[in-house]
Structure formats: C-alpha cells, structure tokens
Chains A and B, each alone.
Chain A
Amino acid sequence: MPRNRRPSKQMLTLLEALAARAQHWRHGYDLMKETGLSSGTLYPLLLRMTEQGLIEAEWREPAQPGRPARHTYRLTNAGIALARAAERPVAVPVSKVAIA
C-alpha cells in the first residue's frame, strides 16, 4: 500500500529544477550543481522518484569517445503534475499524483 507522504524539501528542490525545463533530459551532475544537493542525496532521490513513476531515465551515448554512457532524467506527466501541485500552497501527496 503506497504511503501518503508530503514531498521532502530536497524532493521539492529537485522537482523545481526538473520542472523548469520539463521536456529536457538532464544529467545527474548538472542537477547536483543546480540544486546544490550532494550525490548522496540526489541519487537515492532520483531512484525513489523513478520507482514512483515521477521521473523517467534514459541512457545517452557519451559526447566524447572513451567516456562512459550517461544517465539522463526528466519528469513524467505524474512528475509534472506533482511539481505543479507543489507550487500551490496545499501540497498533494506523492502517491495520489503517481497513481493519477
């Protein structure tokens, strides 16, 4: 049974950063720099949000040969809906938006 939890402060920060350019695929390190979150906070958050269906992830070929492929992220429709709801004064629980 999904838990009705309000998004954490870090999650709201990440949602805001991703929602600013919702259609763009973003790299993890760029998100770290933009949000100020550490890698130890960002990656578990990205993992949970992907499992909740708020974020979709995709592998991208490296820009330079010999470099590893990079994971990119963007909000799903549920993620965009949650980000919009989070901008309003009354926050909507994550699970309700994810189910919607």
Chain B
Amino acid sequence: MRLALSKAMMSLAMGCLGESRREWAFAMQGEFEAAVEEGRPLAFATGCLMAAWREMPRHPEGRLALTSHALALGLLIPMAALQFACAIGFPSAPQGSGLIHGMLAAGWTQAPYLVSAQQSAVPALLFLRLLLGAGQLRLAWVLLERDWAQAFNIGALIAAVMVTLFLFMEVLFLNGLVLILQVAVLAIELSAVLVAARSHAQLSLDAAPEILA
C-alpha cells in the first residue's frame, strides 16, 4: 500500500515537472529505486512531489497548468453551478442572477396577459439554463485536457445558447438585463480559454525544435 502510494506520488511529481524538467523527473525516478531499497519510498516521493509543486510556477508549462486549473475551479465550475441554481431554483441563488421562478413572477406582474405564453416557455428556459451549466462543466474538463478543438466548439455552443436565452427572454417580455453580468463573465471565460490555447500553442512551438533536435 505504501509503495503503491509512493509510486502514484512519483508519477504525479513527474507529471507536474513537465517537458522542460523531464530530465530532472527521470533523475528523481532513478533515485526512487534506491529509496525503495532503503525502505523510505514514501518520504522520498513526498519530497519529490513537494519539489515538483514548488517548481511549477517557475516554468511556462507549470504556469499554464496552474492557470488552467484556477480558471476551471475558480470560474467555470462556479458559473456552471450558478446556471444549475438558476434553473432548479436553489434558494441560495443570488438575487438578480436570472432565477427562472423569480423572473416569471416579475413577468406575470408586469404583463399578466402573457402568463400562459411564459408558462409554456418554462421547459425551454430550463433546458437552455441546464445546457449552459453542462456546457461550462464540459468546457472546464476539456480545458484541463487541453483539447482546444473541443473547447472552441463548446465555447461557440455556450455563446449561442446565451444569445438564444437572451432573445427568448426578450420575446417573452422577461427582463433579459439580468443576464448582462453573466454575459460579461462568459466573455472573460472564453477570452481566458483563448489565451490558454495560444499559450499552449506557443509552448508546443518552442518545444518543437528541441524534439526535432
């Protein structure tokens, strides 16, 4: 069990060091065998993992990995949670975030003659909100996988869904302005994904001459 855990930690450490520190990763891996023979694999692997984590901000690939994780965990997943909260109507959803029940109640007060039309639109609104949430979760996943083709497709889908939602709400005389903040956050998200894709492409270009050599 200890050995398996140590090996897993060594694999993680090697992954964190990235291509630019590949030689050092193999150097650590080579010494790991000596640590196993001495009966101290866990302490050795823990040290290597800590060193690899500390090293991450110092090389471009590590910085890209940290930025991608921060973007996924700090922005994309919370935004997806917000979309689900708005769709399902969690009480914790912030006021003015486009909570569907609240929007409909306000719409019914302002335009009572549209109640039946707005009620019939609820499934479509729910579907669009859930699609936005699922799209952002998927975007977080492909961002970490660095699958940029998928990321651009999902980004385009999310943008299209957001525009559709906005138009749909305007047609139904619901207050579409509540989406403005979310549109702004979405623009930031998609710009950040684009920057991450460009950084990754640049890293690949920089690494290409070394691979060819």
Contacts and interface: CB of A to CB of B under 8 A. Distances in A.
Contacts of B35: 29, 39
Interface in B17-34: 21, 23-24, 26-31, 33-34
Which of B23, B27, B49 has its CB near the most chain A CB atoms (within 10 A)? B27
Interface string A49-88: 0000000010000100001111100000000000000000
A60 B145 CA distance: 35
A89 interface: no
Contacts of B43: 38-39
A40 B27 contact: no
A71 B27 contact: yes
A69 B51 contact: no
A43 B27 contact: yes
Contacts of B123: none
A91 interface: no
Contacts of B50: 40
A69 B55 CA distance: 23
Contacts of B34: 27, 29, 70
Which of A42, A43, A68 has its CB near the most chain B CB atoms (within 10 A)? A43
**How many B residues are at the interface, by size bracket?**
20 to 34
Nearest to B50: A40
A39 B24 contact: no
A41 interface: yes
Nearest to A30: B34
A26 to B, nearest CB: 11
Interface string B70-94: 0000000000000000000000000
Contacts of B46: 39-40
Contacts of B29: 68
Contacts of A71: 23, 26-27, 30-31
Contacts of A67: 33
Interface of B: 21, 23-24, 26-31, 33-35, 38, 43-51, 54-55
26 contacts: A28-B30, A32-B31, A39-B35, A39-B45, A39-B46, A39-B48, A40-B46, A40-B47, A40-B50, A40-B51, A40-B54, A41-B47, A42-B47, A43-B47, A43-B48, A43-B51, A44-B54, A47-B55, A57-B27, A68-B33, A69-B30, A70-B31, A71-B26, A71-B27, A71-B30, A71-B31
